[in-house]
A = this chain, B = another copy of it.
């Protein structure tokens, strides 16, 4: 028999986003640069091995309800927190650029660091994709250093390929990012040379 009943869309992710926004039933609060983020231990632990260890690990007080986060801006912390609940990033600032939105390159670098810190591999890959799309001569050395420090192999390979592409090296070595790369990851220079050699330059 025909049936005209319309079933609404699934809403778990929206319900979790509302729960995060309202802080309903929160049992832990992260304090980041003076701002408080109420959250839910079980969700954090289900989504990240790092949060699981922090909140339920044998070394931690099980009843710890306030967790101070050092070395991170509140606006950066907000993004991985939202990602934990919804698999997406908050609207507005801190979002992963879907195309060559270079203005977002800097927050995305911070976001990648945060994703790595909390073991959010999918978010890290999303950042790698965003940064990969916005590689240019000015930023590639900085991006390469970051990729090296956070073991982003695919982003690193994209950077090496870009630097070794014809006529690019001259512009790249003059950037301040390249100085930073030389200081922070000197062994990567060898990989740039290998890449150039493999391309017959």
Q: Which residues of B contact A40 (CB under 8 A)?
A: 40, 42-43
A8 beta carbon closer than 8 Å to chain B: yes
Could you tell me the distance in whole angstroms from the C-beta of A7 to the nearest C-beta in chain B? Answer: 5
Q: Which residues of B contact A11 (CB under 8 A)?
A: 87, 122
Task: Say yes or no: B42 contacts A7, CB within 8 Å.
Answer: no
CB closest chain-B residue, reference A16: B46
A86 beta carbon closer than 8 Å to chain B: yes
Which residues of A in the span 117-134 have a Cβ within 8 Å of any Cβ on B?
A: 121-122, 125-126, 128-129, 132-133
Residue of A3, A27, A135 contacting most chain B CB atoms (<10 Å): A3
CB closest chain-B residue, reference A55: B25
Which residues of A in the span 152-182 have a Cβ within 8 Å of any Cβ on B?
A: 154-155, 158, 162
Task: Say yes or no: B86 contacts A3, CB within 8 Å.
Answer: no
Task: Say yes or no: A8 contacts B121, CB within 8 Å.
Answer: yes
A184 beta carbon closer than 8 Å to chain B: no
A4 beta carbon closer than 8 Å to chain B: yes
| A 5-21 binary contact with B (CB < 8 Å = 1; else 0) | 11110111101101100
- Pull 30 A–B residue pairs with CB atoms less than 8 Å apart, ordered by A: A1-B132, A1-B135, A1-B158, A1-B162, A4-B154, A5-B125, A7-B126, A8-B121, A10-B88, A10-B122, A11-B122, A12-B12, A12-B16, A12-B47, A12-B86, A12-B87, A15-B46, A15-B47, A16-B43, A19-B42, A19-B43, A19-B46, A24-B42, A25-B56, A27-B27, A27-B42, A40-B40, A40-B42, A40-B43, A42-B43
